[in-house]
Amino acid sequence: MDKKLKIYLSFVYLISFSIFIILNYKYISEFNLINVIFLLIVIILVNNFSMFFNSMTEITTSMNLPVLIPAFVVLNPFWVGIIAAIGTIEYTAKNMKFVWYKFLFNRSVFFLAASTAALIFRVVRPILDGDSFPMLSILSAILIYFLINNTLVYIVINISREDVNKFSLLNYFRELSKNLITSYFIGLILLASYINFGKVFFLLIIVLLFIIKDFFYSRLQQMNSYTQIIESFLKVIDSKDHYTEGHCERVAEYTYHLCGEMNLSRAKSERIISIAKIHDIGKIYVDDDILRSSNKLTKQEYSDIKEHTQYGYELLKDIDILNNDLDIILYHHERWDGGGYPEGIKGDKIPVGARILAVCDSLDVMITGRSYKPPMTKEDIIEEFEKCAGKQFDPEIAKEMIKLIKKGFFDDSFKSKEKIREMELSYS
């Protein structure tokens, strides 16, 4: 063990022991055995059997701090520190070698953080809250708990892990603090249930929170699966049609901006954007010679390629996670005036996602061009949308797309195509 680490750990042990002796002398006889045992058992259980939120980052929110919040109110600082130190032992950890100084450090940190926070709560409650519900004094206590706990851990990480880049204390706290507000409000709920309705209701609230946790975690897993499916199909599309490689991703990007301009809900926008990424999946059933043809399509070839919307729908309809939004794929070549395919539906009968996709799909074709059709300028594209609004496109959606183009959202796409054209001319 590094000498600096030994000194630091010894300092933490000494401070913790000193606080233990002081609080022990003052508060050891002041306790309710039932509350101590009950809260100790609860924190042991929640610490060892689940984390509350599994976030998209590596930071997780445990239930330790929310359960300690009622302890701040009903127990004195000494016993709060004791249940924090003992209750946070991970009894269920497997295949982990016991290291005494790490174990002692963790116990010391939890005791120091919890007991000091409980002491602060006692001091500030009469000043901040008086006889009312202790929202502000609880907030003060958890901030102290948060700062002590995470500062001590931050220091030991930076001393012991010389093989990694030192990370900013500010960044460290910024990442961890994302879940502090969650712990605060969960703790207030638990405190209110404990004080007003008793221990049984308190336990029921915890069970309900874990049910909610499991629901959101399953939804997160579902979203991850959804993303993986989309990305896999996107690779299939790009490998099949090299000429339009990247087309679906660009259309999805345009869709993202257009949904934002239309102020659609986040959930609806995300579903439309995800479908946009694979809107041409049906082309895997279209003959390669047609997809790669550099000539204008014949009537028969055009008829064949029109089938890709139906092919895409049939391919994906048995995937439960996707089938609610497949009408976007099926109808994204329908026209506002009814002249599109596959069914010739018109106006509001076309799903809004398909109407959005029709505009974004056409935008990419206009910007990139085809072998038989050169790219269009920004001004020409605006003119084309104005001309086709109410005919090919939903007039309101076309208007929103024109706004985006005029605001310069897609200027980088125009510039990249201009550079490519300049390079082609220089080599010709």
pLDDT for position 61: 47
Number of neighbouring beta carbons within 10 Å of residue 154: 16
pLDDT the model gives residue 221: 57
Domain 225-427 has CATH 1.10.1660.10: no
pLDDT at position 393: 95
Would you write out the chain's pLDDT as a tens digit for each of its 428 residues? 678 888 888 888 888 888 888 888 888 888 788 999 999 998 888 887 654 443 333 334 467 888 899 999 999 999 999 999 998 887 655 555 777 888 888 899 999 999 999 999 999 999 998 888 999 999 999 999 988 988 888 888 777 765 444 555 666 666 667 678 888 888 888 899 998 888 888 888 888 877 776 666 555 555 555 556 666 666 666 666 555 557 888 898 999 999 999 988 888 898 899 888 888 888 888 887 777 666 777 888 888 888 989 988 888 887 766 777 889 999 999 999 999 999 999 999 999 999 999 999 999 989 887 766 788 888 999 999 999 999 999 999 999 999 999 988 888 777 655 554 554 444 34
So what's the pLDDT on residue 282? Answer: 85
Q: Do domains 3-197 and 225-427 have the same CATH topology?
A: no
Q: Given CA atoms 410, 415, 418, 419 in this order, what sign does their dihedral have? A: negative
Cβ-based neighbours of 397, under 8 Å, separated by 6 or more: 258, 262, 355, 356, 359
Q: What's phi and psi for 71, nearest 5 deg?
A: -65, -35
User: 0.85 cut: is pTM over it?
Assistant: no
Structure confidence at residue 328 (pLDDT): 92
Rounded CA separation 151/361 (Å): 51
Report pLDDT for 228: 63
Which stretches does DSSP call E strand in 212-342?
Answer: none
Question: Which fold is adopted by the domain 3-197?
Answer: Arp2/3 complex 21 kDa subunit ARPC3 (1.10.1760)
Report the pLDDT value the prediction gives residue 96, as an integer from 0 to 100.
Answer: 58
CA distance 128 to 142: 14
Per-domain residue ranges for the chain?
Answer: 3-197, 225-427
Residue with tokens 């934002």: 260
How far apart CA 375 and CA 390 sit, in angstroms, is 23
Place of tokens 């130190």: 85
Describe the chain by its helix, strand, coil percentages, rounded to 5: 70, 0, 25
| Token pair belonging to 158 | 């930076």
What is the per-residue pLDDT for 164? 45
